[in-house]
Amino acid sequence: MKYRLMTLVLTTTLLGACADEKSAPPTVEKKPVNLEIHGDVRIDDYFWLNQREDPAVIEYLEAENAYTESVLTGTSGLQERLVEEMRSRIRQDDVSAPYRHGEYYYYYRLEEGQEYPVYCRRKGSMDAAEEILLDVNKEAEGEAYFSVRGFKVSPDHKRAGYAVDTTGRRFYDLRFIDLETGQRLPDRIDDVTGNYEWAADGNTLFYVRQDAETLRWDRIYRHELGSDDDELVFEERDETFSTYVYKSVSGKFIYIASDSTLSTEVRYIQAMAPMDEPQVFLPREPEHEYSVTDGGDRFFVISNDNAQNFHVLETPLDNTAKDAWTVVVPHREDVLIEDVDVFSNHIVITGRTQGLTQMEVIDRDSRDVHLIDFGETVFEASSGDNYEFETGVFRYNYESLTTPESVYDYDLDGKRRRLIKQDEVLGGFDRNNYESERLFVTARDGAKVPVSLVYRKGLELNGRNPLLQYGYGSYGLSIDPTFSSYRLSLLDRGFVYAIAHVRGGSEMGRHWYFDGRQLNKKNTFTDFIDVSRFLIDQGYTSPEHLYAYGGSAGGLLMGAVANMAPDLYNGISTRVPFVDIVTTMLDDSIPLTTGEWDEWGDPNEKEFYDYMLSYSPYDQIERQAYPNILVTTSLHDSQVQYWEPAKWVAKLRDYKIDDKLLLLKTDMHAGHSGKTGRFRSLEDTAIYYAFFLSLEGIAE
């Protein structure tokens, strides 16, 4: 009790809390709006906050920012120390692992003090003279927000394209460089998605436009450099589908995929004949998900047709009908197949078993199979920069909770791996000072939920350890146990970090996703709560020292958990939280709504409305005590609109019966991912960490 009282006193001092008028939270006017459907009426007092251009809305958000800054003023020194600490672990002048593409080795450099990469290449070997292709730092001068994606060199290596977003709204401008002269080409394609692919001629490309209001990726265009007359190649008219382009390693075909949550349709065009009409590979079917690539002489398909965890098949180039498909890798109950890389002589299958990555190498001639041995029990691996089709080397990325991000080249015949690069963590980092483990927690319905943990060695299970528990659990996305040098700032101060691999992801197979979506969504929330209770029962932490974090759809998880089990957590933080799910899913003019119905259900149907309403964080706020809560959002977020967290915080203030912290911080210049730049983004992380540390009474 003495320890707890001392902690509370120190926390109050650190956070700068006081009773004067300056520190009082802002008030927001109630303007009730009745929202009625299925005979049910919801009264939304803060519906008016969805007017981004209303000066009163901006005034309110800025008032919340001022309040948050005043409350956290006592942590300003800690935030500065955290930023400097995290920055000091980053090697200032670094070079990415070079990869071979044609006659060149491509890589990017990071220069001391600079936020963004410099893209470069060398011809023939890394001993050749360096060519600077694009210095993003120069491009970003004077911009408060600057995001570059999709830097791609044409197949003839004479040109490069890249996409630029300066608002955070994910509307990109495609720009192009002549690599032989170093000059920017006059071509510029504004307000597109940033997803594009070069045709084989190096002069033609296919790119994707989005709907201006819903932001759904719905149209594929063809552009010839030097021409202003772009041609519409494909339009996806089904509002529940989105479309995108990609290219195989062989470079033989360009693919146009249309995806909904549970259905796919793929078209293809020969890269050497970009003016041809795209051909449908297989017409879309309900609940049939598939993806296509090629091995030069045949197509390879990942399909869930009569195979919940997917199987891999092949078919001739001139016959893509299902009855021509033959099995390469059969369906397995214990392995979820996620990706395939096809080379001239080998196939690499990336899958997942018991929540962890598995990579199988298949000889295309003999069909012999072997697994890549990664050497750890808790890790993450993924396909890397593979641009050469005629190769016996597979590049993959690897990391774990204790191993920094690493790049390996794997000899597909010799079964040997060679470390090409491992991120250097400065400041005396020693992975042997940390320990990771994998647990399985029995949920209330008997499901076994995997949990990944990392902490400094010497941990005592005495219930006094601060613990940060992270979760996501949506869209079938698996959360991997990856490394973070930033996280060391928590671990070195005694924190345990835990990832709850809850249902709604695909860690345990495709059923894990289906058991956490639509009418099974509550399993995501109860899994997270059950993991928390297990960690408390086992002495890893206690309610006084347990913290939770999740963002975007993981923010929905945080909002639900805060309503359902507020007594389990001392603090919750969430970034761009999706907390007003019913209102959003009923408004098909809001970006991305229609494509989300397969994930959450369509509330225009009463069964889905009732179920969704029963867990909606905004609608289920109760008059009860809540944990300390820090919420961050961005005014220009294209995925989760800023008004969801703003409304949530306003209503929480009105309902909660405690005097714990409730803070809202809106970045007025950023989008869904927050600040850009490798150093500026640290400021966002420092705020979260300072919030947790201060609640623990940790000032240094």
Domains of the chain: 2-87+435-695 (3.40.50.1820)
Which is the catalytic residue, given 637, 667, 684, 694? Answer: 637
Quote the pTM value.
Answer: 0.92
Kindly name the residue from 573, 672, 673, 684 that is annotated as catalytic. 672
pLDDT at 101: 96
Cβ partners under 8 Å of residue 144, min gap 6:
669
User: What's the confidence (pLDDT) of residue 671?
Assistant: 56
Q: Running along the chain, 700 residues long, what does each successive block of 10 average in pLDDT? A: 39 49 82 97 96 93 96 95 95 95 96 92 97 95 88 97 88 96 95 97 97 91 95 95 96 97 96 97 97 98 98 98 97 97 98 95 97 92 97 98 98 97 96 97 98 97 98 96 97 98 97 97 98 98 98 96 98 95 87 79 96 98 98 83 94 97 88 60 92 95
Non-local CB neighbours of 494 within 8 Å, separated by 6+ positions: 456, 465, 466
Strand, helix or coil at 273? coil
Let me know: does 467 contact 549? Beta carbons within 8 Å. no
Q: One-letter amino acid identity for 610?
A: D
672 an active-site residue? yes
552 is catalytic: yes
Helix or strand or coil: residue 497?
Answer: strand
Structure-token match 């800054």, residue found: 69
Q: Are 154 and 200 in contact (CB under 8 A)?
A: no
Regarding beta strands 496-500 and 467-470, do their DSSP bridges make them parallel or antiparallel, or are they unpaired? parallel
Q: Which residues, in sequence order, are CB contacts of 487 under 8 Å at separation 6+?
A: 454, 497
The answer to whether the beta carbons of residues 334 and 295 sit under 8 Å apart is: no
pLDDT score of 15: 65
Catalytic residue among 70, 242, 436, 552: 552
Q: Could you tell me which residues come within 8 angstroms of residue 282 by beta carbon, excluding any fewer than 6 positions away?
A: 265, 266, 290, 320, 321, 322
**288: annotated active-site residue:** no
Please name the residues in contact with 695: beta carbons below 8 A apart, sequence gap of 6 or more.
11, 547, 570, 571, 628
Q: Is 572 within 8 Å of 557 (Cβ atoms)?
A: no
